[in-house]
Every structure is written in C-alpha cells, then in structure tokens.
Amino acid sequence: MTFSSPIFLFVFFPLVLLLYCIAPGIRTKNVLLMIASLLFYAWGEPFAVLLMLFVVLFTWLCALIAQKGGTARSIAVAAGVVGNLGVLAVYKYAAFFVQTCNDWTGLSLPVPKIALPIGISFFIFQSMSYLIDTVRGDAQVQKSYFRLLLYISFFPQLIAGPIVRYQTIADALEQRQMTVTQTAAGFRRMLLGLSKKLLLADMLGVIADAAHNAGDSLRMPLAWLGAVCYILQIYFDFSGYSDMAIGMGKIFGFTFDENFRYPYCAVSITDFWRRWHISLTTWFRQYLYIPLGGNRKGKWRTIRNKWIVFFCTGLWHGASWNFILWGLLNGFLMTVEQLLGITEKKGGRFRQICTHGITLLLVICAFVLFRAETLPDAAVFYKAMFVPAALTNGAISACTHYLTPLICVTLVIAVICATPLPHMLYQQLEKRKPALAEGIGYAGTALLLLLCMFNAASTSYHPFIYFRF
C-alpha cells in the first residue's frame, strides 16, 4: 500500500483520519496511530513488522541502560549502534558483500537470499539518531516503548522519510491538537505531493524508462531526453512523497522539517546537497561528518571526511556499485569545488548562471549512474550521450515518438515547477490582489484534486522510487 494507491487514498487514510478525530484523548490517538502504522507496514511487509518491533525494543532498552552512566552507558551505546547497523548490513548488504567477495576472489560462497524490508534504511537511521541524541543530551529518553514505536513507525514518514529526529516531534507525542487551519494546510500539502507524483513523475518516468531500456539501440537524442526526464521524475517522485508525509503529519498535529529546497536551482554540487534530501544530508552531517572532525582539522581532513560521507551516502541508497560510484562521484565533485574555491556566494550574476548550468549538467550525468541497473548499462548510456553517432532519421524519430503534446506540456510544467517561480508569482499576486489569489488557489486545488482522483483510479500502480531504499 502506497500513498498514491486507491486503497490508501480512498479507504485507509480516510478511515484512520475519521477514527483519529473521534478518538478521545492523546493516549488513545497515539495508540490508534501506532496500530494504523503497523497495519500500513504489514500490508506489504508482514514479516518486517516483527523486525521493526525488535529494532525499536532493542534501541529503547539500550537508551534506558545508557542513562545509568559509567561502563553501562558505553556498552549500551556501542551495542545499540552496532546492533542497528548489523540489522541493516544483514538485510541490505549481505548478498552484495558475498557476491563481491566471490567476484574478486574466485570463491563460490553461497549468496544469501534475504528479502529487503521496505524503508529499512529510514527506520534504522531514525532509531540510531534517537539513541545517539539521548546519550548526547539533545533529547530526553522516552520511557514508553509504545511512544517510541509510534515515533519510528509513524506511517507518513516510515517508508521513505523524511528522516525525523526524535526531538522534532517529542513534544507532539505528549500533547498536540488539530486545528482547521492546520488541517487545511496539511491537505493542500498532501494534494501537492500527490499531484507531483501522479501528474508529473509518473508521466516523465515513461520516457526515462524507455531510454534506459533501449540498450545498444539508444542514440544521443533519446539518451539526453531520458536523462533530463529522469532527474525531473526522481525529484517530483521523492519530493512529492515528502510533501505528502509533511502534509499528513500536519493533519495529525506533527511538524516535520522540509526535505527539499529547489535542488535544481543550485549553483554548485555543494549547494545541491544543501537542497536535496535534506534530512539525509543532515543525518550524515550530525552523526558522521562532524564526529569525524568536519572541516575543523585542515583542508585534507575535510576532503577525507567528505569522501567518507559520500561513500556512505551512496551505499545507503543501495547495495550496488552504481550507487557507491554515484556517491563517490558527488564527493569528488565537491572536492574539486573546494580545491578550486568555487562557492555559490562568489561572482556576479553571469558567473552564477554559468555555474548553475554546469551544476545542472553534472547532476544530470551523475544520476545516470543512479538510474542504471548495472555499471555496463551506465556505460552504454554514457556512450549514447557523449559519443557522436550518425544522426539518422530513426534516431530522431525514436526521440520525437515520445514527445507527444501531453508530454511536451508536462515537461514544460515540470521545469517551471522545479523552480520557485510559481510560488513567487503567487506570493506577489497575494500581496496585490488577495481575493483573486484566493480564488485561483481554490480553483487550482479543486482541479488538482479532480485530476489526481481520475489518475489514481484509472492508471496502473507506480511505486515511489525511494521505497526500494
């Protein structure tokens, strides 16, 4: 069950919301949300619910023991971190490590076939952040196992984030309220995210998939079109999920931090990572980059720390050399920027336009590694993008075949919506003609709602891309 599926939109979420509204008291509401979250996860991952219950119990006990101080504190923290990472390593990386060992050594070790629980990277990272923050004194230890379980399993952000730090919602677990204004804002944010997914990401994904599935027949026009469509697809897919999670959290009285800030407007790779998947970047900065020394111990230590962080970032996304190289490529590009002294604050308007164009080109090329199934597939795609071949009528028609009027309109809308321009224009209209802006807002909301309902009910299921992480 996913946020864009009819069963979620028309049955699960309305039913949970109805029961939540009539449930008396915060304790009953918390129990309801906890049960709903476990049912939501069990819908697609029945066995993984037990794993998550164990992870939460283990982390809860480690945090309680760590409060005793002394040797118990050190042992509990070490056990908690190693235990959480161990669960992630077994379920996500064991097969990859064994297969890599076989490939490099010529051995024939049996490769374990372990089903990957959906969203395991997200709930493991939340579990670890809770434990570390309580030990650091950044958050209070949660005495109730069930409240901690709700924090980690809360269905809006369970499957694909954003990764929420415990102290962000600790107070809301104890006391919160629903207001008409907050609920309306939550529904609008949820509808915006659903629109991004159904009306933009899924449409553009058709072209991205066609390009990546073309194999050796792929030529330059379709390769570049597919690469551009993919960066738009993954942005609207993932930011759409984050919008829906933030909106649903708001409806139930929780506030989550933003996860995206127009990343394709970045003027450097460093700037891009301040805008893209912010909750993951923040997690690695707080729990890996800064403990390693951050940028406090000289240029070369800073570079080393960045490479470690982006190696882990790539590995976090998946047990594949594609993801590892994608992460290392980002680390390399950030290293080049640091050595050349390139920052988003330097230079005039013309220089910023140039650096923005270069950054966007690098992001497009890097995401080819992210999307390709294997390294040979990525090599074939890069060859089509950069090695000149005869521009035959067939190569051109293979590209124009997908550029239907609907796709062209979708592309234009996607490019515009990937910038802050629509939001800025609406803000200006609100200042000058608030009544007109309000009317346009209501009409736009109604139109998006109708389009999303029609799309959700009539098209095939497309899972969110980040579900596999």
Residue with tokens 């944010």: 189
pLDDT tens digits, 94-109: 999 998 898 888 888 8
pLDDT grade for 464, boundaries at 50, 70 and 90: low
- Whether this prediction's pTM lies above 0.85 is answered by yes
Q: Is the pLDDT of residue 13 over 90?
A: yes
Task: Say what the pLDDT of residue 469 is.
Answer: 56
Task: Say what the pLDDT of residue 169 is.
Answer: 92
Mean pLDDT of 322-340: 93
Task: Say what the pLDDT of residue 345 is.
Answer: 62
- Write down how long the chain is: 469
Q: Is the pLDDT of residue 36 over 80?
A: yes
pLDDT tens digits, 408-452: 999 999 999 999 999 999 999 988 998 898 898 889 889 998 988
Mean pLDDT of 267-293: 94
Q: Is the pLDDT of residue 154 over 80?
A: yes
Residue with tokens 């803000």: 427
Q: Which residues contact 304 (CB under 8 A, 6 or more apart)?
A: 292
Q: Measure the CA angle with vertex 195, ends 273 and 173; round to 5°.
A: 70
Q: Which one of the listed residues 212, 317, 356, 401 is annotated catalytic?
A: 317
Distance of alpha carbon 280 from alpha carbon 276, whole angstroms: 9
pLDDT grade for 79, boundaries at 50, 70 and 90: very high
Distance of alpha carbon 349 from alpha carbon 332, whole angstroms: 26
Task: Say what the pLDDT of residue 396 is.
Answer: 72
Residues 410-440, buried b or exposed e (16+ Cβ, 10 A)? bbeebeebbeeeeeeeeeeeeeeeeeebeee
Task: Say what the pLDDT of residue 299 is.
Answer: 85
Distance of alpha carbon 283 from alpha carbon 440, whole angstroms: 38
- Cα end-to-end distance, the chain, whole Å: 16
Beta carbons of 39 and 52 less than 8 angstroms apart: no
Which region among 43-57, 271-285, 386-400, 405-419 has the lowest average model confidence (pLDDT)? 386-400
pLDDT grade for 466, boundaries at 50, 70 and 90: low
Distance of alpha carbon 358 from alpha carbon 10, whole angstroms: 44
Q: Which tokens hold the place of 22?
A: 């009539």
Task: Say what the pLDDT of residue 240 is.
Answer: 94
Mean pLDDT of 171-197: 92
Task: Say what the pLDDT of residue 461 is.
Answer: 56
Q: Is the pLDDT of residue 343 over 60?
A: yes
SS (H, E, C) the chain: CCCCCHHHHHHHHHHHHHHHHHCCHHHHHHHHHHHHHHHHHHHHCHHHHHHHHHHHHHHHHHHHHHCCCHHHHHHHHHHHHHHHHHHHHHHHHHHHHHHHHHHHHCCCCCCCCCCCCCCHHHHHHHHHHHHHHHHHCCCCCCCCHHHHHHHHHCHHHHCCCCCCCHHHHHHHHHCCCCCHHHHHHHHHHHHHHHHHHHHHHHHHHHHHHHHHCCHHHCCHHHHHHHHHHHHHHHHHHHHHHHHHHHHHHHHCCCCCCCCCCCHHHCCCHHHHHHHCCHHHHHHHHHHHHCCCCCCCCCHHHHHHHHHHHHHHHHHHHCCCHHHHHHHHHHHHHHHHHHHHCCCCCCCCHHHHHHHHHHHHHHHHHHHHHHHCCCHHHHHHHHHHHHCCCCCCHHHHHHHHCCCCHHHHHHHHHHHHHCCCHHHHHHHHHHHHCHHHHHHHHHHHHHHHHHHHHHHHHHCCCCCCHHHHC
Mean pLDDT of 371-399: 82
Name the average pLDDT for the chain: 90
Distance of alpha carbon 56 from alpha carbon 58, whole angstroms: 5
Task: Say what the pLDDT of residue 390 is.
Answer: 58
Beta carbons of 176 and 345 less than 8 angstroms apart: no
Mean pLDDT of 258-282: 95
Q: Which residues contact 155 (CB under 8 A, 6 or more apart)?
A: 33, 36, 37, 40, 41, 248
Which region among 153-167, 247-261, 397-411, 422-436 has the lowest average model confidence (pLDDT)? 397-411
Q: Regarding predicted confidence, which is higher, 92 or 401?
A: 92
Residue 317 annotated in active site: yes
| Residues above pLDDT 90, as percent of the chain | 65
Cis peptide before 162 (omega within 30 of 0): yes
Q: Is the pLDDT of residue 290 over 60?
A: yes
Which region among 20-29, 162-171, 343-352, 381-390 has the lowest average model confidence (pLDDT)? 343-352
pLDDT grade for 455, boundaries at 50, 70 and 90: confident
pLDDT grade for 394, boundaries at 50, 70 and 90: low
Task: Say what the pLDDT of residue 402 is.
Answer: 78
Task: Say what the pLDDT of residue 201 is.
Answer: 94
Q: Is the pLDDT of residue 60 over 70?
A: yes
Beta carbons of 255 and 172 less than 8 angstroms apart: yes
Task: Say what the pLDDT of residue 395 is.
Answer: 67
Task: Say what the pLDDT of residue 338 is.
Answer: 87
Mean pLDDT of 292-317: 91
